[in-house]
Amino acid sequence: MARRCSLLAQVIVAQYDSVDAQVVKQLRVSCYNRHMTQELNPTRLTWAALLGRWIEFARAAVALPDDDQGTRWKASVAPIIDLQAVTMALGQLDDLPDDERALGLDKAEILIRRDASVLGEIWRDAPLPAKLTELLDDARQALRQAQSATQQPRK
């Protein structure tokens, strides 16, 4: 998942020739910081650390230009963070008590559908960038895996 954050920041930088040096620097620092945590086991990262990374990503995105694409990327930050959080949480679904798993799956499915709808609306007049499609696919795949695992008896 940390790889997705880094790739997304790189894509944003690559799509803008007109991004000022400060924006590029903020996004590259964000990418570098994420790269440094890639080798860590994601389950060992605390949610507080993830929240810090997402805040850093959101702050960097604020500096994007106010043109059409910049506005779209800025509007995409909340759904991006939602999808990353849901994907991470689905990977830890086994940590929930049995009686809370079904609720967790339902909430995850609702959030993924909502975020897909929001991103579709944001990018309705333009093709959804490949990295956002990949992020949605990752979340949906995590949901399918969690649903499949929940249907199997626990050991």
Taking the C-alpha atoms of residue 144 and residue 44, their distance in angstroms, rounded to an integer, is 23
Taking the C-alpha atoms of residue 100 and residue 23, their distance in angstroms, rounded to an integer, is 42
Taking the C-alpha atoms of residue 154 and residue 142, their distance in angstroms, rounded to an integer, is 18
pLDDT at 126 over 90: yes
Q: Which residue has the higher pLDDT, 37 or 91?
A: 91
Which residues make Cβ contacts (< 8 Å) with residue 65, sequence separation at least 6?
A: 16, 18, 19, 23
Taking the C-alpha atoms of residue 44 and residue 37, their distance in angstroms, rounded to an integer, is 11
- 151 — pLDDT class (breaks 50, 70, 90): confident
Domain enclosing residue 94, as ranges: 2-151
Q: Which of 146, 29, 32, 27 is nearest to 87 (CA)?
A: 146
Rounded mean pLDDT, 66-94: 92
pLDDT tens, position by position, 20-69: 555 555 555 555 454 444 455 555 556 667 778 888 888 888 899 999 99
Residue with tokens 């897909």: 116
Q: Which pLDDT does position 132 carry in this prediction? A: 96
Q: Which pLDDT does position 43 carry in this prediction? A: 54
b/e for 108-144, b at 16 or more Cβ within 10 A? bbebbeebbeebeebbeeeebbebbeebbebbbebbe
Q: Which residue has the higher pLDDT, 39 or 110?
A: 110
As for how many domains the chain has, the answer is: 1
